[in-house]
Every structure is written in structure tokens, then in C-alpha cells.
A and B are shown apart, each in its own frame.
Chain A
Amino acid sequence: MVTLKQIRNSVLIALWMMILTFPIMVIKVNTIENIVIWRWMNLLYIGVGTVILSIFWFFLINRRKLEPEERKRSFALKGKIETLKGVLAKPVVQKPLYAALLVIIIIFPFVSSLYQTGIMITALMYVILGLGLNIVVGLGGLLHLGYAAFYAVGAYTYALLHRYLGLSFWVCLPIGALSAMLLGILVGLPVLRLRGDYLAIVTLAFGEIVRILLENLSQYTGGPAGISGIPRPSFFGIKMSLSTAMNYTYFLTFALVLFTIFVVRRLEHSRLGRSWVAMREDEVASEAMGIDITRAKLSSFALGALWAGLAGVFFSAKTTFVNPASFTLWESVIILCVVVLGGIGSIKGVVLGAIVIILLPEYLRAFSQYRMLFFGLILVMMMIFRPGGFIPAKRRVYTFDKAQLEESD
């Protein structure tokens, strides 16, 4: 509960914040026209806002300290959520639920506007990107901050191959994916022996190098203006209207999402996937258990890149236009956030993460000015109060039937 001491502290914090934010919140200068505006009301907003928020903050922090059991008791609603989760986990409930979801996904493009379909395609693409990066970050534990570079390679492969050789989407799809993977291996070989943060900064540097090259090799890539007029995916050469083409792209992307989930699930529960997780947990121990670390790192890095490449080709085809501005560091960061917010290493989590991160800002357009501000705040709050993400990863539970148990005796 909120104590008097906390309220006093909150007031002190509010005073501190008022002093701290005074120059930026109250004074507004325009040094071009030499105008100074004093916005004293802002000081009041900051003060009142901070008192309220900090009381809320103390409440949450105290709750965080409680054991999970106590927490459940302290919050009746939470208990109900747990029961609901239990009900949802039952196969009898789950199957129809998934079926209903599938129906909604299939009907969606026919009942929604072209604009909505476009957003949904974007969200689905982030699902693919998130799942791909999840292989590297979630399973392999390699902090990758240059993922957008591989996404760019896929996108530009299609754009360039179409522009210069007239190749179609379907030909470019595997080429784009493979070239991203190849680049992943080439980059990975020298840099993967770096540890943790060094790897993060080198991947970041690599991502920026790719983007700047795309921007400056303008005789081939069109520079900052990019390449336009990239065709949408074709269907045996049939001419399609814009809306049909969009719906078709939507279903293709959805199919790729299903394919990605299928493959990532299988990888996760395979010899290779286990070696990634072991590497994430403890490199020294996994090497002592016979895992070839170089190989494990390289394979997770390369497979991650492969998916970025696939998504890149889809991106070009969907937007019919690419430019370097789509592949900045922030792009890599957003994809990383999809993985971490959703639930690192958890497939369901990443899917939900992508949908929330892409759709929420879209539907918050009314507050469009503030959405990045809130996005930043949400990232911080999530890490503090729900670090496992929306749907935390769970390890697989193996069951043993009687016959097996007796056999092993």
C-alpha cells in the first residue's frame, strides 16, 4: 500500500523533476527569429504528473519484490487471469481458438480497406523478421544490432535483379534469401569470435556500412532516392487489379509466416537448436560438452540472415519501392524490440510482439506525435516489470510412456 513516506518522496521527486526539466520544458527558444517563449504551465504538469506516476511506480516496484505466490494473492484479478490461462491451454479450447483465428486471418483482407491490408502485411513481415532474429538473439544469445542490413540485402537483391535483368519475384526470392545468408557467413566468419557487446557494436557498424553504401553507390542503387517500380508478386503472369494484388501479397506473406513458424519450431527442438540454446547459456560449458561453438554461432547467424533476406524480397514486392531509409539502425532496433517485448526465444511471444509493435502505433495515429515517446517508455517499463516479454519462453516438457520407462531400466 502507499505509505505517507512514499507520498513525501513523490513530492520530493516531483520537485527534482521540475528543476531538472525546467530549461527544456519551460523555455522555448527560436534562435533563428530570436523569440523566447516561457511556458510556465508545463512546470505544473510535470509536477503533478510526476507525483502521480511516482506513487504508481512505488506501488509496482513493491509488488515486484513480492514472491509470485504472494503477488497472486495480492491481486485478485491476476488469479482470474491464471485460471483463464489454464482454460486456454486445454487442447479442447485451443483447437477451435486457432481455427477461429485462421478464419479471421483469411477473411480479413476481404472485409478491410486496402490501407488496413497493407498494415497487416507489414505486421506479418515483422513476424518473419522477428522470428528470424529470434534464431540469433533468442536462441543463440548473440546480440545482433545490424539485422536490417540483411533485410536490405534481400530487398535490394530483388530490386536490382529486376531493374537490370528483369528477373521476377519468384526467381529473386531464393536468390535474395541466399545472398543474405552468404553475406551473413562472410561477415560472421571474422566477427563471431567477438564476445557480447563487441559483437553488438560490430554488427551495428556493419549495418550502417551497408546502409551508407546503398546511399552512396547511386549509379547502381539510385542513392537516397532508391529504386521504384518493383513489381508485386506475380501469379503465373495473370494481370491483377491493385486490390487483388494486395490480397495476394497478403496471403503469400501469411504463408511465409506459417512456413517460418514451422521451420523455427523444428529447428528449436533439434540437435542444432539445442546447441544454440546451450551456447547462449554457457559457451565454455557447451564447448566442453562437444559443441563446436564456431559452427553453432555461424549457423544461427546465417539462418537468421536467410530469413531477413526472405522478408526483404517480400518488402520490395509489397512496397514496390526501396530506399536506404528503410534500413536504418532504428529498423534493427525495432526488430530487436519485437523479439524482446514479445518474449525472447518464444515463438508465440514474437508473433504477438510484432503485431503489437506494428499495429499499436498505427492505431494510435491520433496521438501520432506522442507514440514514439510512449514506445520508449513502454520499452523501459516492460524490461523492469515484465522482463520475460508478453509470452515468456517455456522449455519443452518431455513425457515418457510406460514402455519407454521400462525399456530404459
Chain B
Amino acid sequence: MDLDYFFQLFLGGMTRGSIYALIALGYTMVYGIIKLINFAHGEIYMIGAFTALIIVGALGMTGLNPVLIFLIAGVIAVLTSAGYGVTIERIAYKPLRNAPRLSALISAIGMSLFLQNYVLLAQTSNFLPFPTLIPEFKFLANAGGIISSTQIIILATTALVMVVLTLLIKFTRIGKAMRATSQDRQMAQLVGIGINKVIAFTFVIGSFTAALGGVLICSHIGQINFYIGFIAGIKAFVAAVLGGIGSIPGAVLGSFVLGLTESFGTGYISSDYEDVFAFLFLVLILTIRPSGILGREKKAKV
């Protein structure tokens, strides 16, 4: 077996997994709190990527340092996307908080459709190339093309986000409020937690990480269009479910498992069936463990 090839696939899988994880976090947190499959979440990721592309394009003329441009674009994209996240929640989900779950899901599907077409109409349906802004690190010259500097940045950013998020949820006031709300919304409200604030905050965090994923992926893959959010969203959702939806470590684990499965599947078997591997794997896992890898089986209280 060719070890270099193996490592290349492994790192490719980890990179993919990182991006899935950044998106899946939003899915899983929103699900944990309001039990909604936020179908429009993938579009947030797309909007993040597009905004970054637009800012990069606009700043490209100024002749600033490429790394600085990338950072500015990233910050603006992530903030804007977080804004989109809360706005969507306010319009499409908040009025449906006590409605049947199916209604909220349809509303989310409608929102997804709306956002896709919004970007399509305001921008373009073509694939747009994302300029290379991150220079190759010098110390990677010896690595023989197994890993690129963008990949390193993606892996490091994801790791950082995970750590910060874990600390946030474990130790801060708002983190505790989030956990309480996801356990029992009514009870949380009774002990004085501002539910609306907590939910809005969840959307902010979720959209923030998703957009981060969007910014990173477009610098890695190099081109985007209005439709990327849909597939990525579905995959990330698969990852979240795989790990056990509602569980944050589950979402991360599920994402890496999914990323690696896809990477090795396409690398060793066939690239035609990339998506089939992901979905087959999901069906298989859920048949064995109906609540996902880390999900706990919930006994209905009778």
C-alpha cells in the first residue's frame, strides 16, 4: 500500500470533516434547542462564502496585502452571516415555535429556497473562482504535496473553534442557559432564562461557525456558486445525525467519520459514488444505533 497516498486521503478526509463539523455544529445546536432541522443552514454557509468572495473582489483593487484582505473578508462574511442567521430565525422560525414540527420544517425549506434564489438573482448562477490569498508555507516544501497550507489553516481553525465552543457551553452563563433550554424549554423559562435571547444566540453561533466553514472552503476548493450550500448542508446534517443530533461532540465525531469515509471511499473504490458512501454509511449506522453514534436513546415518558 502506498503510504503517501493513504496520508493524503487521510488529511483530505480530515479537512473535509473539519468543514462538515463547522456546519454541523450549527445544525446540532439549533436542533438541540428548538428541535428543528434548519434546512436553511447550508445557505448560511453559502452566504458566508459568497460574502467573503464579494469583499475579496471589492478589496482586490486596493492592493492591500492578500492575507489582510482574506482576514477582513472573513470577518465581514462571518458577521454578516451571523446576522442572516438571527434574521431568519426571527422571520421564519420564531412565529412557529409552538406550531407542529412539520410546519417549521417546511418554513425552513421555503427559507432555503428563498436564500438560494436571492443569491442567484443578486449575483450570478455561474461558478466564480476564489482568488488564492493564502501563501504556501515554506516549511511545507518538504511534505511533498501531502498537505497544503490551506488545509493546515482549516484543521487548526476547526480545532480552535471546537475548544472555544466547548469552553463557552461548559463554563459561561449563556452556555449554561443554552444547555438548560435544550433540556426543557418551559422549565428554563420558569427559572428566568430569556428563551428568545438564548435561541437567537444559538443561531448567531451556529451561523458564525457555518460561515467560517464557508470562507475556509472557498479558499481551499477555489470556486463557489449559489448551490454549494445545499449539498454541504445535507452532508453536514448527515454528519450531525450520524454523531447523534443535539450532541456537540457527536456532530464533530460524525463529521470526521463522514469526511474520512468519503475520502477513503472515493480514493480507494470509486469517485462516482462519493455521495453514496456517505448516505449508505448513515443508513447503516442508524440501523444499528437508531440515535446515532453518541446519541442517547431517549425513552418516551409514559
Alpha-carbon separation in the docked complex, A143 to B104 (Å) = 13
Cβ contacts under 8 Å, A375 to chain B: 110, 113
The segment from A85-93, A262-270, A289-297, A365-373 that touches chain B is A365-373
**Contacts A31-B130, A204-B234, A212-B273 known; A337 to B109 CB distance under 8 Å?**
yes
In the complex, whether A27 has a CB less than 8 A from a CB of chain B is yes
The reply to whether A25 and B122 form a contact with Cβ atoms under 8 Å apart is: yes
Residues of B within 8 A of A48 (CB): none
CB contacts between A and B, total, < 8 Å: 180
Whether, in the assembled complex, B208 has its beta carbon less than 8 Å from a beta carbon of chain A, the answer is: no
A193 CB within 8 Å of chain B:
yes
Q: Judging by beta carbons under 8 Å apart, are B57 and A27 in contact?
A: yes
Which residue of chain A has the shortest Cβ distance to B104 in the bound complex? A383
How far, in whole Å, are A25 and B123 apart by their CA atoms in the complex? 8
Question: Are A198 and B291 closer than 8 Å at their CB atoms?
Answer: yes
Known: A20-B80, A23-B80, A34-B60. A200 touches B37 (CB 8 A): yes
Assembly CA distance A221 to B283 (angstroms): 24
Minimal beta-carbon separation of B290 from chain A (angstroms): 5
Q: Are B107 and A193 in contact (CB under 8 A)?
A: no
Is B95 close to A, CB under 8 A? yes
Q: Is A340 an interface residue (CB 8 A)?
A: yes
Q: Name the one of B87, B99, B234, B302 contacting A16, with C-beta atoms under 8 angstroms.
A: B87
Chain B: interface residue total (CB-CB under 8 A): 72
A329 touches B234 (CB 8 A): yes
> In the complex the two chains form, is A379's CB within 8 Å of B283's CB?
no
Is A380's beta carbon under 8 Å from chain B? Answer: yes
* Pair B300/A29 contact, Cβ less than 8 Å: no
CB pair B119–A24 under 8 Å, yes or no, is yes
Interface residues of B in 193-220 (CB under 8 A from A): none
B294 within 8 A of A: no
Asked if B107 contacts A380 (CB within 8 A), the reply is yes
Give Cα A23–Cα B47 distance, bound, in whole angstroms: 10
Chain A minimum-CB-distance residue to B99: A387
| B106 proximal to A (CB < 8 A) | yes
Interface check A79, CB cutoff 8 A: no
**Nearest-neighbor residue (CB-CB) of B291 within chain A:** A198
Which residues of the other chain, B, contact A137 by a CB distance below 8 angstroms? Answer: 102
| A377 contacts B by Cβ under 8 Å | yes
Q: Is residue A194 contacting chain B, with contact meaning CB distance below 8 A?
A: yes
Neighbouring B residues of A384 by C-beta, 8 Å: 92, 95-96, 107
- A336 to B113, alpha carbons, bound, how many Å? 14
Nearest CB of chain A from residue B83's CB, rounded to whole Å:
5
Give complex CA distance A176, B114 in Å.
35
CB distance from A146 to the nearest CB of B (A): 10
Q: How far apart sit A357 and B91, CA to CA, in the bound complex (Å)?
A: 23
* Residues of chain A with a CB closer than 8 A to B55's CB: 23, 27
B95 touching A24 by the CB < 8 A rule?
Answer: no
Does chain A have a CB within 8 A of B237? yes
In the complex, the chain B residue whose C-beta lies closest to that of A190 is: B287
Q: Which residues of B sit under 8 angstroms from A30, Cβ to Cβ? A: 57, 124, 128
- Complex Cα distance, B116 from A329, in Å, reads 15
What's the least CB distance linking A337 to chain B, in Å? Answer: 7
A32 touching B128, Cβ below 8 Å: yes
The reply to whether the CB of B238 lies closer than 8 angstroms to some CB of chain A is: yes
Q: For the complex, is B18 an interface residue (Cβ under 8 Å from A)?
A: no
In the complex, whether B251 has a CB less than 8 A from a CB of chain A is no
Question: Interface centre among A17, A23, A196, by most B CB within 10 Å?
Answer: A23
With the chains together, A377 CA to B291 CA distance in Å?
33
Q: What does the 1/0 interface line of A136-157 toward B look like (CB < 8 Å)? A: 0100000100000000000000
Known: A36-B58, A373-B118. A387 touches B100 (CB 8 A): yes
Q: Are B110 and A383 in contact (CB under 8 A)?
A: yes
Chain A residue numbers with a CB within 8 Å of B99 are 383, 387
Cβ 8 A contact of A284, one of B56, B129, B292, B302:
B302
Q: Is B296 an interface residue (CB 8 A)?
A: no
A-B pairs with beta carbons under 8 Å apart, 22 shown: A16-B87, A23-B50, A28-B122, A28-B123, A30-B124, A32-B128, A32-B129, A190-B283, A198-B286, A201-B237, A205-B278, A206-B283, A212-B273, A213-B276, A344-B102, A373-B118, A375-B110, A376-B116, A378-B110, A379-B106, A380-B114, A383-B99
- Known contacts A194-B290, A208-B276, A209-B276; can you find 13 more A-B pairs with CB under 8 A? A24-B50, A24-B123, A27-B55, A137-B102, A191-B286, A198-B292, A206-B279, A284-B302, A340-B106, A344-B102, A373-B114, A373-B117, A376-B117
